[in-house]
Structure 1
Amino acid sequence: MSDPQRDTVTSSTGPEGPDAPLHRRGIKSYVLRAGRMTQAQTRGLEEVWPRLGLTLADGRQDLDSLFGRRAPRVAEIGFGMGASLIEQATRHPDTDFLGIEVHAPGVGKLLDEADKRGLTNIRVYREDALAVLERCLPEASLDTLQLFFPDPWPKKKHHKRRIVQPAFVELIRTRLKPGGLLHMATDWQGYAEWMAEVMTAAPGFVNTASAETAPYVPRPDFRPLTKFEARGERLGHGVWDLIFERRR
């Protein structure tokens, strides 16, 4: 979950077409932010990374070999400081989790906490998510992909930086198993509407929302409530969850 920087989509500013390249003129959906590293975060990167960390140089993964078993697989893009992912990995020891995050403090904190809890069902990339999906994860290898509170890039001129674009969604479709789920959440209504528009137009996906709540679903119990989200709820901020299933 990246820290948000805090619009109904129009054709001139809306999502790019399905044939748009994923790496568009070097445009990225994130900004690397400088930050001090705590002792625990540094320990995570220095001592735990060799055991749980992965890089693009490791190439295409055989996930059964990587985790030493066959199990449901969940990937999360932009896990922030890792609290949600750690909680999920702790709650569900029979599921394997792949976390993808570019910010060193968050990666270090997650690794330190995973080590302290003795978690063996989690691996971490500190890489661009698009590159990981394209080069490291096999097709039809994931049961769920999670994208919680990505940077909303609220200014119209920055909408091209939003990670949720047709080409990105198509790439995810190929990495999900048939019946696999793409679960997104945002606290920006304009971005929620953008996500809904992209997904409604995306081939091979169907919305799991009921007619009463569509295009959104109530917050699922299995998505941990973060401190950030809880604070937003107290302030009256909305949160929108979308869950789409790969049908083909």
Structure 2
Amino acid sequence: MPESAPIDPPRFRDRPVSFVRRSGRMSDGQERAWAELAPRYLLEVERDVAATSVRPGAAIEPAEVYGRRAPLVVEIGSGQGHAIVHAAQSRPDTDFLAVEVFRAGLARTMLDADRAGVGNLRLVEANAPEVLEHLLPAASAAELWVFFPDPWHKKKHTKRRLVAPEFPPIAARVLRDGGVLRLATDWEDYARQMRDVMADAVDFDPAFDGEWAPRHEGRVMTAFERKGLRVGREIRDLTYRRRERT
């Protein structure tokens, strides 16, 4: 008898992801939101090796998703969606994409978007680097937001931080020429790491003077940010502009 074909060994992601996906239970309201609102707001994604992965080659066409051509703002780690729902409601001439891995947060975002009558917002349940590498076309975003990413403050976990040397090239890929990358954190050492990483990023120029950028006026003050301020952590913003492609 012919030998059986060899079994391919399991494949894993090349680097640690910037999150640990916990299976927290959603409330009844969130479950209903997922069932009723996901068809309107949630993008279907072709998966690769994991539940939150994106298959290479599975790019979307934003004009088809939103039914128009408009500037696109992408928020990485949208959490409960407070910032992006407020922004989408305030800027109806702009399209917004929320990237998050936690279903309860996505469900809350859909509930709030529905209550606000927001139609220019879509959500994707996926690992952010894979969204930037595979799901979004090159030069498709006008702005990319990373507000209060998990700081992974224990030294043994800092390798999981999103804004690391691997991040600027994939951020540059998705941003159009002149597009804006906005970063914010309430952890000083992570803010300094972000600044060091971006100082070495050949595709970006700082869009601020001095040590830190002014607070982004379009970022609504969330309970998370207020909590950080209440316990004495300073909020630090950084803003960068994507250089023209040569």
Q: Same fold (TM over 0.5)?
A: yes
Distance in 2, matches of 1:46 and 1:24, equals 30
Amino acid at match of 1:194: Q
Larger radius of gyration: 2
Q: 1:24 to 1:36 in 2, by over 3 A?
A: closer
Amino acid at match of 1:222: G
Deviation at 1:77, TM superposition (A): 0.6
Give the secondary structure class of the aligned counterpart of 1:97.
Answer: strand
Residue matched to 2:55: none
TM-score scaled by length of structure 2: 0.86
Deviation at 1:106, TM superposition (A): 0.1
Residue matched to 2:197: 198
Amino acid at match of 2:99: I
Residue matched to 1:8: none
Residue matched to 2:44: 55
8 Å CA contact 1:44–1:110 kept in 2: the answer is no
Amino acid at match of 2:40: R
TM-score scaled by length of structure 1: 0.86
Matching of residue 233 in structure 1 with residue 229 in structure 2: yes
Cα offsets for 1:7-60 (capped at 9, x unmatched): xxxxxxxxxxxxxxxx86451110112323122211221111111111322921
Give the secondary structure class of the aligned counterpart of 1:60.
Answer: coil
Distance in 2, matches of 1:80 and 1:52, equals 15
Q: Please give the residue correspondences for 1:1-248 in structure 2 after superposition, counting only pairs within 5 Å.
A: 25-57=14-46, 59-210=58-209, 214-248=210-244
8 Å CA contact 1:183–1:242 kept in 2: the answer is yes
Distance in 2, matches of 1:130 and 1:93, equals 27
Give the secondary structure class of the aligned counterpart of 1:54.
Answer: coil
Distance in 2, matches of 1:65 and 1:24, equals 29
Q: 1:197 to 1:144 in 2, by over 3 A?
A: same
Give the secondary structure class of the aligned counterpart of 1:166.
Answer: coil
Q: Work out the percentage of aligned pairs sharing the same amino acid.
A: 41
Give the secondary structure class of the aligned counterpart of 2:172.
Answer: helix
Distance in 2, matches of 1:57 and 1:92, equals 29
Cα offsets for 1:142-170 (capped at 9, x unmatched): 00000010011112221111111222211
8 Å CA contact 1:205–1:244 kept in 2: the answer is yes
Q: 1:50 to 1:24 in 2, by over 3 A?
A: closer
Deviation at 1:204, TM superposition (A): 1.4
Distance in 2, matches of 1:139 and 1:42, equals 34
Give the secondary structure class of the aligned counterpart of 1:195.
Answer: helix
Deviation at 1:174, TM superposition (A): 0.9
Amino acid at match of 1:139: A
8 Å CA contact 1:56–1:135 kept in 2: the answer is no
Q: Give the gaps of 5 or more residues in structure 2.
A: 1-11, 48-57
Amino acid at match of 2:239: I
8 Å CA contact 2:132–2:173 kept in 1: the answer is no
Residue matched to 1:4: none
Amino acid at match of 2:202: P
Give the secondary structure class of the aligned counterpart of 1:57.
Answer: coil
Higher relative contact order (CA closer than 8 Å, sequence separation 6+): 1
Distance in 1, matches of 2:229 and 2:59, equals 40
Give the secondary structure class of the aligned counterpart of 1:56.
Answer: coil
